[in-house]
Amino acid sequence: MNAAKTMSGAMEGGGAYNRHAGLQAAGGTLALDALRLAAESVVLEMADQPIVIAEYGVSQGRNSQLPMRMAITALRARVGPDRPGFVYHEDLPVNDFGSLFEVLESAPDRYARDDPHVYPCAIGRSFYESVLPPAYVHLRWSAYAAMWLSSVPIPVADHIYVPCMKGASSAAFREQGKEDWQKFLSLRATELRPGGRLVVVLPGADDDGLTGFEPLMNDANDVLTQMADEGAITADERAHMVLASFGRPLRELLTAFEIDGRFCGLSVEHHERLPVPDAVWDAFLHDGGGARLVSRYAAFYRSTFMPSWFLALAQPNDAQRKDKLSDRFEHLLKVRLYARMEPLRSQVQMLVFARDGQLPRDRA
């Protein structure tokens, strides 16, 4: 078995991602003002047509309720309470859509709760394909998703995490990242209506490509090596474990815009990189509780990144083995985190793109 050319993994199922993705929620929250401004700027035509919002890489939906509510509120202020609206939530077919539907149906803060004219929908398809018709979407949101690659460019690398890789491994992943990002943007540009807006939130990286996740990823890298030494995973499985996801410096994200500031009809309206508050560390400083601190970091890591290791397993669908490996991984990671006891210094990169051009005549 090897993991080359396989798709990125979805998040840990059974609602685990929803329970442990506080860091992604905090990063997404920092982009809410940008989303509101984008919703206020979107060009809206034809009073009888539904407003279309699309979200890419929804996962299990808990972190989507606040941004979607914010976007709908801003759009409602412009179009009134009666105009129908679709909200399409997209993710890979292997995503835990059951948990998403539960949130959409019964979460107390669900965005459609008080708005009978908003219709949530879900799509199981990669965002590296066309997901919606051309010139269809007014406003799109994608948080902590578009940095996942379409595939793993080389089967074996010298570290699980791209910013910690050296030489040829790093170059292969960065090249794949560049291709994928341009594909993502060009597909989304086609789906956006003229005057539409695309808001993308990504893990941030400084000019040297460092993201703040490096100490945690070094721990995880060492844990996987320890698990291979213990015989919990084979040497071949260990060799193929790599994370097809990493934050990129702004210059890598804006390469395609260098010539005349436009790419596929998109122009950059806003970009900003900010530190993400670490609520887990703040709670520890306030209340103490080292064991709770490392448990929360480890649960975050497990729910977001652990499924990627399973792509390298000889039998990736062996649920019993995966549970056992996850438990062992989490335990060993906690031991290392306890020895280090540091906050997670991550950053968030937000980008807002505006779509230019004319509507097709039959839609204007």
Ligand X SMILES: C[S@@+](CC[C@H](N)C(=O)[O-])C[C@H]1O[C@@H](n2cnc3c(N)ncnc32)[C@H](O)[C@@H]1O
Which residues of this protein are in contact with ligand X, per CB under 6 A?
8, 10-11, 21, 24, 28, 57-59, 63, 91-92, 95, 126-128, 143-145, 148, 150, 304
| Helix or strand run (H / E) with residue 19 | helix 16-20
Q: Minimal distance in Å, beta carbon 191 to ligand X? A: 14
Closer by beta carbon to ligand X, 92 or else 137: 92
Burial class (CB in 10 A: 0-12, 13-18, 19+), 94: middle
Closer by beta carbon to ligand X, 11 or else 152: 11
- What is the side-by-side order of every strand in the sheet holding 266-275? 118-124, 85-91, 51-56, 137-143, 192-203, 347-355, 266-275, 262-263
Closer by beta carbon to ligand X, 62 or else 227: 62
Cα–Cα distance for residue pair 174/151, rounded to 1 Å: 12
Closer by beta carbon to ligand X, 20 or else 174: 20
SS percent in the chain: helix, strand, coil, step 5: 45, 20, 40
Q: Minimal distance in Å, beta carbon 64 to ligand X? A: 6
DSSP character at residue 255: G
SS (H, E, C) 272-288: EEEECCCHHHHHHHHHC
Closer by beta carbon to ligand X, 332 or else 350: 350
Closer by beta carbon to ligand X, 142 or else 221: 142
Q: Minimal distance in Å, beta carbon 160 to ligand X? A: 16
Phi, psi (deg, nearest 5) at residue 192: -75, 145
Q: Minimal distance in Å, beta carbon 21 to ligand X? A: 5
Amino acid identity, residue 108? P
Q: Minimal distance in Å, beta carbon 96 to ligand X? A: 8
Q: Minimal distance in Å, beta carbon 228 to ligand X? A: 26
Burial class (CB in 10 A: 0-12, 13-18, 19+), 239: middle
